Amino acid sequence: MNKLLSLILILSISSCSSIAFWQSDEVDPNEPRELEDFNEKFQFVENWEIKFKGENKLNNFKPAFSGSRLFFADQKGNVSNIDIQSGEIIWESELDSTISAGVVAGFGRLFLSDDKGNLICLDQNDGSIQWKSFAGGEVLANVGVDAGLVVVKTASGFLNAFNIETGSEEWSYRSVAPNLTVRGSSSPVINENIVYATFDNGRIGAFNLKTGLPIWDGAISFTEGVSELDNLIDADSSPILEGNRIYTVNFQGNLSVFDAAQRRAVWESKESSFYEPFILRGVLGIVSADSKISTYSSRTFEDSWKLEEYALRELSNPETHKGYILVGDFEGYIHAIDPLTGITVARKKISRSKIITLISRSDSFYAIDEKMRLFSLSF
């Protein structure tokens, strides 16, 4: 009898142990995925780091480049000219403004926006203000710059162009904005005298750069829900132009490809993202709103691979660098992913704060975290 009880007890303990072990491996779909082990192919090298003031929560503080110089503006109005190689600050300028987006370099000037809706133009050589103009509303994204015009998209749906020399307004367009939007905005893109811009109503428009007259527009996606929340289809990512194709994606909408000559969408897939699509080595992909990565063939649009191991890790915008996809996450890690396989090949923790923005330039790439730290890295 004692032997029988002992056997039952052993079997019960073994059964409980098996259940506990199985439960520990179960992935909670509502929690960020734990990082998985991987085979490291190379290592990231941190070149330098600079701490700036304010916070960077909307991916709207990005460095700008001109030759061997990097320009960066923080939320508190500090504009810095930095040597790319050493991280040495060449000059600093303090603006009496809270900055909402910037900075963009072009034609010897720097362009950024403040929280009062002003577009500010600085001299690249010393940071002195050349002109300031009201942009038409709050600006949360970088401007588009041409030899004659600066094009600004406001958070309220205005697309305005200003004379690059004087700051005088040359033309203005206003989109039809929905009642409910996500806080954020996309940057206009200028190509061959055409301005491409995406809007909060889930549409993309093409405009004549000189006159602002609409050339064509199209729907990235259409509303399908019954509530305002269901119909939230903001396009807070800029269009990507490659050849004759325009790649766009919006929140709770589609990844859509437009043909510029035909002026219409030629392919779409149900997706939801706040970030621009990426195109690399024949792969078209996005980082979705829940931090899963989906990819397609950029030629045939057939499904390629889907990566869920970073789900809910609040990934940054995807950036391509030296043939790899780079993303940052909420724990301050940078990850490198092979675009052909979806396999992680490198990883480094660079911050205790969330990585918000990545941008590639030449042999280095740059990361900005939520606490306004700017990192230069390479591999």
| Residue found under tokens 């033309």 | 171
**Domain for residue 4, yes or no?**
no
Q: Give the DSSP H or E segment for 18.
A: helix 2-25
Question: Would you give per-residue pLDDT tens digits along the chain (379 residues)?
Answer: 444 434 433 334 333 333 333 344 567 888 999 999 999 999 999 999 999 999 999 899 999 999 999 999 999 999 999 999 999 999 999 999 999 998 999 999 999 999 999 999 999 999 999 999 999 999 999 999 999 999 999 988 899 999 999 999 999 999 977 655 666 689 999 999 999 999 988 899 999 999 999 999 999 988 766 666 655 666 789 999 999 999 999 999 999 999 999 999 999 999 999 999 999 999 999 999 999 999 999 999 999 999 999 999 999 999 999 999 999 999 999 999 999 999 999 999 999 999 999 999 999 999 999 999 999 999 9
> What are the residues whose beta carbons fall under 8 Å from the beta carbon of 260, sequence distance 6 or more?
206, 241, 244, 245, 246
pLDDT for the residue 13: 37
CATH code of the domain covering residue 301: 2.40.10.480
**Domain for residue 23, yes or no?**
no
Rounded CA-CA distance 38/337 in Å is 11
Nearest to 181 by CA among 146, 162, 154, 212: 154
Count: domains in the chain: 3
Encoded tokens for 185: 């905005």
Q: Give φ, ψ of 111 to 5 degrees.
A: -130, 130
pLDDT for the residue 82: 98
114 with 163, same domain: the answer is yes
Could you tell me if 73 and 120 are in contact, meaning their C-beta atoms sit under 8 angstroms apart? Answer: no
Domain of residue 99 covers 60-174
CATH code of the domain covering residue 161: 2.40.128.630
pLDDT for the residue 285: 98
160 with 260, same domain: the answer is no
26: DSSP letter: P
Q: Which of 151, 174, 197 is the last residue of a domain?
A: 174
Rounded CA-CA distance 198/48 in Å is 35
134 with 55, same domain: the answer is no
- For the entire predicted model, the pTM comes to 0.89
53 with 64, same domain: the answer is no
**Domain for residue 127, yes or no?**
yes
**Domain for residue 253, yes or no?**
yes
Could you tell me if 138 and 154 are in contact, meaning their C-beta atoms sit under 8 angstroms apart? Answer: yes
292 with 314, same domain: the answer is yes
**Domain for residue 106, yes or no?**
yes
168 with 202, same domain: the answer is no
81 with 139, same domain: the answer is yes
pLDDT for the residue 113: 97
129 with 52, same domain: the answer is no
The helix/strand/coil state of 7 is helix
Q: Give φ, ψ of 38 to 5 degrees.
A: -150, 165
**Domain for residue 155, yes or no?**
yes
Q: Which of 235, 256, 274 is the last residue of a domain?
A: 274
**Domain for residue 337, yes or no?**
yes
Largest Cα span, the chain: 98
Distinct helix (H) and strand (E) counts, the chain: 1, 32
Q: Would you call the peptide bond into 103 cis, given omega within 30 degrees of 0 as the criterion?
A: yes
Could you tell me if 196 and 241 are in contact, meaning their C-beta atoms sit under 8 angstroms apart? Answer: yes
Neighbours of 342 (CB within 10 A): 19
Q: Which of 145, 174, 203 is the last residue of a domain?
A: 174
68 with 155, same domain: the answer is yes
Could you tell me if 82 and 69 are in contact, meaning their C-beta atoms sit under 8 angstroms apart? Answer: yes
**Domain for residue 16, yes or no?**
no
66 with 159, same domain: the answer is yes
Q: What are the tens digits of pLDDT across the range 257-274?
A: 999 999 999 999 999 999
pLDDT for the residue 17: 33
Nearest to 208 by CA among 141, 153, 161: 161
266 with 321, same domain: the answer is no
Q: What are the tens digits of pLDDT across the range 20-71?
A: 333 445 678 889 999 999 999 999 999 999 999 999 998 999 999 999 999 9
69 with 168, same domain: the answer is yes
